[in-house]
Structure 1
Amino acid sequence: MHKKKPKSIYTSRSSYSDRAKKENESFKEVIVPVQAIETALLLLNSQEDAVLVTVFKNITEYARKQDENVEELKRLKLLDLLLEKKFYMTSDAVMIRRFATYLACTLVESMDVLRDLEPARVIFILGICLEAYLMEVDDFSLEYLTVIINKCLQDPQVANEMLQKSDFLEKFFMQVSSTENPDILWQSFEAIHKMLLLLDAEKLLAFSTLPTFPIDRVLCDILNEFVDIRSAALKIVKDLIVDTSDKSAFADVSRCVFTLQQLTQLFCDYAITDHGNEAIEALATAMRTEKVTQLFFEHNFFDRIMQNVAAHLLEYAASVKCKVIWIFAENAKYEHFLQRIYEANVTDLFLDCLLQVDPYGPAPYVITGMNRMMKNPNAANRILQFYEAGVIERLASIISQPGIDIRTREQAADLIGNLLRFAFHDTAHQLLALQISLVLGRIFGQQPQDLSIDFLLSLLNIIEQLAQNEDYREILGESTLLTMNIALMLKNSFATAILVNNIFRCLCTLADEAPVRTVLLSHYIAPSMKRGLKSLSNLVKTSVTNFIMQTARFPEMVHEYIEAGVLEVLILNQRLAMCVSTWGPAIEAILSKCPSLKFCIRNHLGFTDSTAGNDFLVSKRKFDDFRVFQNILKEDVSPLHPILVVNFERKVSPPDLIIEVPIECFPLDERPDVAGSWCYCRKPGDSELPRILDLLNEELEKYGLMQNPAKMSRCIDFDNLAKRAKVIAEIVEAALCSNLKRLDLNTTEECSNHTVKCHLYDIARALHCNFIPIGMVHTGCQFERAILFKALADQIGLPCTLQRAVDGRLLFNEVPLPVEIDHDPHCDKKTMKFMPWRMLRPTHIVDLMFHVGELYPIQSRQALQYLRLY
């Protein structure tokens, strides 16, 4: 120990200070009453701590009195002064820093950051706060700074700036982990949540796995006694727990289990209050990953929650009870837990919430859970048992009300579709009793903002399923409103390829009904199809061509495709067949029902192309553009362009198709030569053609070559094919040989085409029209004879083709005959006679001019001579 130095009683001095001089140099204390806030703000530039403390104290009391005082301080730019002084961080006086940060916090909290401040200004404020935060050690000052920082983070641009401040984040995280101040904890959790919202999955993973990130502190505060802290912590948990990968913050199984334990405890403690809703949302979010769901069941947290639900079910408010099942709806996403969920009677909870009368409809997850439970047969049967309680009526009501959340309506439509797949007839009867066609028609007519793509796809799926049954399809087809609104919706849906595809697929199932086709034709189906064929999406083009192939069996649809220009778009864009496999078949589907256009375009009719039952029109000209031929059919009546017409069913010209041209339409110099009125008809009657057919049938019967319909529907009579072809050729030659002599095949002499041309011109003059019935023609060469041969062959079921030569002036016919090759089963008559006509190949050309009825093998010398190629 040191000895204490004894105190001196007297100390000698050699010099003494001048007291008078010291008193003259010192500045005496000044006490001045300040009554203006502007003067007080000037004193904030003082260097005296006592002055600053006194002024700050008065300003703080002034700001606390009323909100108007805070607005006055904002007007006087107090915040600018505090930022300029950097919150007096250079001062050693803690109270000064507290007052400065408190006033700055008060001013910033009274602002709307996004509306009142420019982003650059907010970034500047945040920079000063971060600088002060790094220097500050006082708990209260840190609290106020945290509030300011949290407020600034409302601007996402500012939040991104802060994510780059690694030195600040390190101290910030350490402060969060160690603080005992509940306000700092609450504001810090809120700030972290706002930062997490800005990050994508990759950046979120990197941010949440920083060594100092306070994930454990967040989990421990899930059960914090303060509601705000609990809520803020749950927000962070919901942001992070959706990622349980090997590198995430929740990769550790023990951390996942602890989180589930905390959340389950929070739910059990607050389930019957509004605070339990946040726990339910966090648990439901956690259940979105299979790893957490597995732990949820393995550690019996599911059973604990079910026990709590069973114990307090009667105490739950309706909203709370329906909120609880959000957890189970997420559990049901995994099929291996469905049986356990069903055994816990969760299905009944779903049904109870569904059937509650709520003008806003149930929450989406209620019906989502039921959709997932449909994968369990027991749960699906339980839902069927509630049909009598009005399940289908409730679902129909939900999908039809535009005021209900669109996600709920989507799930309701999906559930109806699932019920149709599980119990088709039971569900269909319920839907038809509710006039589902009228309900769906009204829904399709609702405003676009009340609908969604997924919702419309689900509704179209319902229609497709119902239309699989013919009786149900007929009922749907009777609804004009349904078909009309689908057609109008199609017209406005080309921005979404998947929707257009599903609309056309749905219409394919309904188009079998005549009322549906009538409504579609009157509501712009052809313009919609043309727009679809010109779409950039191959999916849309494929859906349109599929629709054409499905509906080409209806004459009115084919007529519309031709007249409205759908066929034109298909023909002019055949290059698209390289990327749309159904493009070519769609063209053929239309042309197969219109042999006139097919022959004009393809210059060929095959074995399956029949002229029977149609007006078959052939022009003497060969057209490079079929639209010229179409215009002639519609407008031209000039005898310079003769068109041969084949029709066995019209013996006289229909009176309604006869066009009378009054004499006033003729030039004055021609009127004296015109006697009375002048008439013409584009679809003239033909009384001679049926007579020629009768002669053919008599000849075939005389030789025993009449076809046996029952037999011919199953096979081809190859044995008599050549004989029947010869009989037809002779009938054709007899009908068209007037004023023509038969020539020899080996001669170079040509048929007198001039005689034929004059004959056709005379007929056209007599008819006042260029549409000439083939029966009225008595003089014809290869061109006319080939047309008549094809027409008669189609009437008796003889397979033959009609082919135009390259020069366009010559037509010829081909027939299929088996070419016997030793040991080749594909050429055996017994095999080929049962082959479909579309698989036959032409083998012989029919001679109609020289040795009438002879069949020449293709590429033989006689065939080339007949075609004048040799």
Structure 2
Amino acid sequence: MGKKAKKESETPCKDMFEAVPVVCKTPATLVLLLSSPEEDILIKTCEAIHTFAEKGDENKVCLLRLEALKPLCQLISHNNKLVSRNAFMALGIMATSGDVKSALKKINVIPLIINKLLEVQDDAVVHEFATLCLASLSVDFTCKVQIFANKGLPPIIQLLSCPDPDVKKNSLEIIFNLVQDYQCRLAVHELGVIPPLLELLKSDFPVIQKLALKTLQNITTDKETRITFREEQGFEKVIDILNNMDFSDLHAEALQVVTNCLCDDECIQLIHKGGGLTKLMDFFLTPNMPEIKSGALKCITMVAQNSENCKLLHEQNVEKILVELLCVADTGVKASTCQAVAAMSLHESSNNRFRDLGGIPALVEGLNSESLVLREAATQALSNLTHSNKLSAFAVYEAEGHKILVQQLYGNCPKTIANAAATLGNMARHEVIRCSILSHGAIQALVEPLKSTDTQILVSTTLCLAMLACDAEARTQLRSAGGLHPLVSLLESNHKEVLHNACLAVNVCASDKSTAMEMFRFGVLEILQEINQSVNRRSSFSELAMINLINSNLSVKYSLTGHLASTDIICDGFYDAGKARAGQKIVTLEELSMQPVNRHQPIIVVHTTIEKKNEDKHKDETQAESHTEKPWKMMDDDSLHVLVKEAKKSILPLKEQEQYAALARLVSEAMGGAVEIENLHQFPWVLHLKKLKHQLQSNVIPIGLIKNGIYCHRALLFKCLADCIGISCTLVRGEYNRAWNEVLLFSENLSSNGCSSQPCNYIVDLMHEPGNLLAVNTTAAVQYQTILTNNVV
């Protein structure tokens, strides 16, 4: 800004002695003279200190060590105007040193400076150096608070209209530093800072114009300030700067102000009507000015937030320019271009236009950049382009973008990871692409992001996993990579979207029995039960996950719900551990078999497969040779195997109704025959089961070994044999060891039981009159399902 010419000194009084010249060879002497009672000496000393300090930072630090600050701070409040003025000059110059600035923070000088600004209305020198001192201090947060608390803003804002350019510049710097904080931004707006700032745009000094624009850029982030800015024709004045190529050095800052203003639809209409969009297009063609291009691109990004405004850009053929800018050398311009593409690609017409112009390969190329900012912006653009757009997803696939996106999941930038996962999730909706994504290790790459604490990463990663895990091989990979534990842990998230997506992923993973069993080990069932009991956390996603989870494991389903539908087919490994209590942890069959024999009812297991003895012998020999521990396996159930063969041979040839009756008799004979209701309490099933447990030294009993079974055992055996031979029935658990099977029959011959020729449900009697079919809800059926008063079992 240039140094000020020294102001004339006041004319001394005739009665005063002639001034003694101050001649000092050392700064220490000057500092000592600051304590002089003589005003003339103080005037000359402060002037000399100012001159000495102007020569460099070393001199300023020297004065600091000699403890010149305190006396100078006292002298700025001196009654003599010349003493005060010269003290301000010395203090202002010294404050530009970092060391001096740090020392000044410990001296409560800010209130003194602000008071002097309020007292002195017409001294440009005091204004200049007082504001210079405050400008240096206002960089520090504590000093900002002090300036604001001591009501320093009003006089400083008034000084923006001072004719002295140095005062304007210093005052602008103070305001610029203060408005970095939200409270000060609101305050300067209320104090009417907009008009003087706009007036400073006409300054002859570029540094003042630039500072004014930077300050406007900061305060126009506030909506109320933007309204005032628009009412004061601020938008038009900034556009005038953009239209004037003589102000090209100000265009970058001006574009930042325009970007803020474009948050408001009114400003967008103003820029459109005034030909501003066309002007923005011109900035894209400006050679060798990347900062200007980036500023214009930010404006485009803001305009594109609204679908109606995006149509205006589409009409200007902005997509073509953006695709061209993706190929420029400057990384910053590329990143800004990607951000603009991301904003515009949310609108279908622009999305398709980018793809047709070949913009997607250029975005994929950006994924290889060393710039974190560019990679983040490129992944965001690809995420938006592939969202609900099959053709764009295949364009990324054809450009082999999915390979690079998988690698981005191993990065350190949270936004890039989230965007990459979102893009892969969008693409994985298409089978061909999903298979290719999986072949490049996507599942393994997702495991670490599943452990993140970043919400956006978790939202994208869980959804991506849900899209990928519909493949059986993917679920196997997830188990092997250790991804199930962190996935199950996310069910405890309090973030609604993370929880929903985690439930969706669990639901998909539960389609696989091995995966479901692994999740059971991590407590997935207990967590989902808790979620579904909560009014706030329960959702259709959690309910669906629970249904699919228990459908994948019929043992768990029967234990929890007490009901297996006709479509639930019992397979080897099914076990009945009794009715589960609320919150009870599910224990696997292997874990149950390892428990010591107890007094509880046995666990009944179904195992129809009989391994060949020679194969078992060969396996045992191999294991013995390798000195490895023999793996646990279920006990062979020869009796059940015989029953299955008998059922297939004797029952399948019969008609439908006869099949159920014959199968009921076969089950009854296998488990002790018919038992009259009156003699039910004498049936020795309890002692029989205890003997089996003692004999096997296990709580787990194969169902074929049970020769004296009651309702619950017979109903399970009936369901097992029916499923083996392909006839339909349900399995329902009642109270007190009751269980029964329901079958659906179309038979006119059964109309005497209370049903017409329409399909009716019947309960199969396996205990008292084996083979008898009892119409549901009849007295006989209810008696079979419930315990009788005098016949407690």
Please show how residues 220-239 of structure 1 align to structure 2 within 5 Å. Answer: 220-239=199-218
Please show how residues 471-486 of structure 1 align to structure 2 within 5 Å. Answer: 471-480=432-441, 482-486=442-446
Q: d(CA) in 2 for partners of 1:574 and 1:32?
A: 89
Which position in structure 2 is the counterpart of 1:751? 683
Which position in structure 2 is the counterpart of 1:255? 232
Residue segments in structure 2 that go unaligned for 5+ positions in a row: 1-14, 625-629, 749-754
For residue 82 of structure 1, give the secondary structure of its aligned residue in structure 2. Answer: helix
Q: d(CA) in 2 for partners of 1:369 and 1:31?
A: 68
Q: d(CA) in 1 for partners of 2:554 and 2:422?
A: 36
Which position in structure 1 is the counterpart of 2:80? 91
Amino acid at match of 2:228: A
1:683 and 2:628 matched: no
Please report how far the alpha carbon of residue 142 of structure 1 lies from its aligned counterpart in structure 2 after TM superposition: 1.4
In structure 2, relative to structure 1, the CA distance for the partners of 1:699 and 1:331 (3 Å cut) is: same
Please report how far the alpha carbon of residue 803 of structure 1 lies from its aligned counterpart in structure 2 after TM superposition: 4.0
Please report how far the alpha carbon of residue 270 of structure 1 lies from its aligned counterpart in structure 2 after TM superposition: 4.0
Q: d(CA) in 2 for partners of 1:254 and 1:230?
A: 20
Deviations 1:828-865, CA, capped at 9 Å, x for gaps? 865x68xxxxxxxxx65432222112234447257436
* Number of residue pairs matched by the alignment: 756
1:444 and 2:444 matched: no
Which position in structure 1 is the counterpart of 2:91? 104
Which position in structure 2 is the counterpart of 1:469? 430
Q: TM-score, normalising length from structure 2?
A: 0.83
Please show how residues 177-576 of structure 1 align to structure 2 within 5 Å. Answer: 177=161, 179-200=162-183, 204-210=185-191, 213-243=192-222, 245=224, 248=225, 250-251=227-228, 253=230, 255-256=232-233, 259-270=234-245, 273-303=248-278, 309=283, 313=285, 316-358=288-330, 360-362=331-333, 364-374=335-345, 379-387=350-358, 391-401=359-369, 403-406=370-373, 408-421=374-387, 424-425=390-391, 427-446=392-411, 448=412, 451-452=413-414, 454-480=415-441, 482-490=442-450, 492-493=451-452, 495-537=453-495, 539-567=497-525, 570=528, 575-576=533-534
Q: Does structure 2 conserve the Cα–Cα contact (< 8 Å) formed by 1:332 and 1:369?
A: yes
For residue 109 of structure 2, give the secondary structure of its aligned residue in structure 1. Answer: helix
For residue 237 of structure 1, give the secondary structure of its aligned residue in structure 2. Answer: helix
Q: d(CA) in 1 for partners of 2:289 and 2:381?
A: 26
Q: d(CA) in 1 for partners of 2:294 and 2:188?
A: 35
Q: Does structure 2 conserve the Cα–Cα contact (< 8 Å) formed by 1:43 and 1:51?
A: yes
In structure 2, relative to structure 1, the CA distance for the partners of 1:112 and 1:385 (3 Å cut) is: farther
For residue 326 of structure 2, give the secondary structure of its aligned residue in structure 1. Answer: helix
Amino acid at match of 1:74: L
In structure 2, relative to structure 1, the CA distance for the partners of 1:385 and 1:618 (3 Å cut) is: closer
Please report how far the alpha carbon of residue 305 of structure 1 lies from its aligned counterpart in structure 2 after TM superposition: 5.8
1:176 and 2:160 matched: yes
Please report how far the alpha carbon of residue 219 of structure 1 lies from its aligned counterpart in structure 2 after TM superposition: 0.7
1:850 and 2:780 matched: no
Deviations 1:335-384, CA, capped at 9 Å, x for gaps? 334444344443333222211134x4535432222233335666445423
Amino acid at match of 1:647: H
Please report how far the alpha carbon of residue 695 of structure 1 lies from its aligned counterpart in structure 2 after TM superposition: 3.9
Please report how far the alpha carbon of residue 776 of structure 1 lies from its aligned counterpart in structure 2 after TM superposition: 5.2
- The one of 117, 122, 131 equivalent to 2:103 is 117
Q: Does structure 2 conserve the Cα–Cα contact (< 8 Å) formed by 1:223 and 1:262?
A: no
Please report how far the alpha carbon of residue 185 of structure 1 lies from its aligned counterpart in structure 2 after TM superposition: 0.8
- The one of 83, 89, 114 equivalent to 1:130 is 114
Amino acid at match of 2:551: S
Which position in structure 2 is the counterpart of 1:156? 141
Q: Does structure 2 conserve the Cα–Cα contact (< 8 Å) formed by 1:597 and 1:626?
A: no
Amino acid at match of 1:813: N
Which position in structure 1 is the counterpart of 2:10? none
In structure 2, relative to structure 1, the CA distance for the partners of 1:112 and 1:515 (3 Å cut) is: farther
Q: d(CA) in 1 for partners of 2:269 and 2:785?
A: 83
Which position in structure 2 is the counterpart of 1:82? 72
Amino acid at match of 2:313: I
Higher Rg:
1
Amino acid at match of 2:375: R
Which position in structure 1 is the counterpart of 2:735? 806
For residue 177 of structure 2, give the secondary structure of its aligned residue in structure 1. Answer: helix
Which position in structure 2 is the counterpart of 1:728? 663
Q: d(CA) in 2 for partners of 1:681 and 1:105?
A: 86
1:788 and 2:717 matched: yes
In structure 2, relative to structure 1, the CA distance for the partners of 1:319 and 1:865 (3 Å cut) is: closer
Q: d(CA) in 2 for partners of 1:395 and 1:382?
A: 14
Which position in structure 2 is the counterpart of 1:4? none
In structure 2, relative to structure 1, the CA distance for the partners of 1:299 and 1:727 (3 Å cut) is: same
Q: d(CA) in 1 for partners of 2:17 and 2:342?
A: 86
Which position in structure 2 is the counterpart of 1:605? 564
Q: d(CA) in 2 for partners of 1:654 and 1:561?
A: 36
Q: d(CA) in 2 for partners of 1:253 and 1:573?
A: 51
Deviations 1:84-135, CA, capped at 9 Å, x for gaps? 22353x115x4x4432211111111123577x237442xx111111122222
Q: TM-score, normalising length from structure 1?
A: 0.77
Q: Root-mean-square deviation (CA), in Å?
A: 4.0
In structure 2, relative to structure 1, the CA distance for the partners of 1:785 and 1:348 (3 Å cut) is: closer
Please report how far the alpha carbon of residue 286 of structure 1 lies from its aligned counterpart in structure 2 after TM superposition: 2.6
Deviations 1:379-434, CA, capped at 9 Å, x for gaps? 445423432xxx33332232344x4243x433322322333347633x44443344
Amino acid at match of 1:157: T
In structure 2, relative to structure 1, the CA distance for the partners of 1:128 and 1:683 (3 Å cut) is: same
In structure 2, relative to structure 1, the CA distance for the partners of 1:592 and 1:398 (3 Å cut) is: same
Q: Does structure 1 conserve the Cα–Cα contact (< 8 Å) formed by 2:732 and 2:741?
A: yes
In structure 2, relative to structure 1, the CA distance for the partners of 1:240 and 1:862 (3 Å cut) is: closer
Q: d(CA) in 1 for partners of 2:291 and 2:348?
A: 28
Please report how far the alpha carbon of residue 729 of structure 1 lies from its aligned counterpart in structure 2 after TM superposition: 0.9
Amino acid at match of 1:86: I
In structure 2, relative to structure 1, the CA distance for the partners of 1:789 and 1:215 (3 Å cut) is: closer
Amino acid at match of 1:410: E
For residue 172 of structure 2, give the secondary structure of its aligned residue in structure 1. Answer: helix
Deviations 1:747-770, CA, capped at 9 Å, x for gaps? 5663233674488469x56xx877
Amino acid at match of 2:202: L
Amino acid at match of 1:146: T
Amino acid at match of 1:444: L
Deviations 1:9-42, CA, capped at 9 Å, x for gaps? xxxxxxxxxxxxxxxx998987786544433444
Residue segments in structure 1 that go unaligned for 5+ positions in a row: 1-24, 665-678, 706-719, 821-826, 834-842
Percent of pairs with identical residues: 21
Which position in structure 1 is the counterpart of 2:752? none
1:647 and 2:607 matched: yes
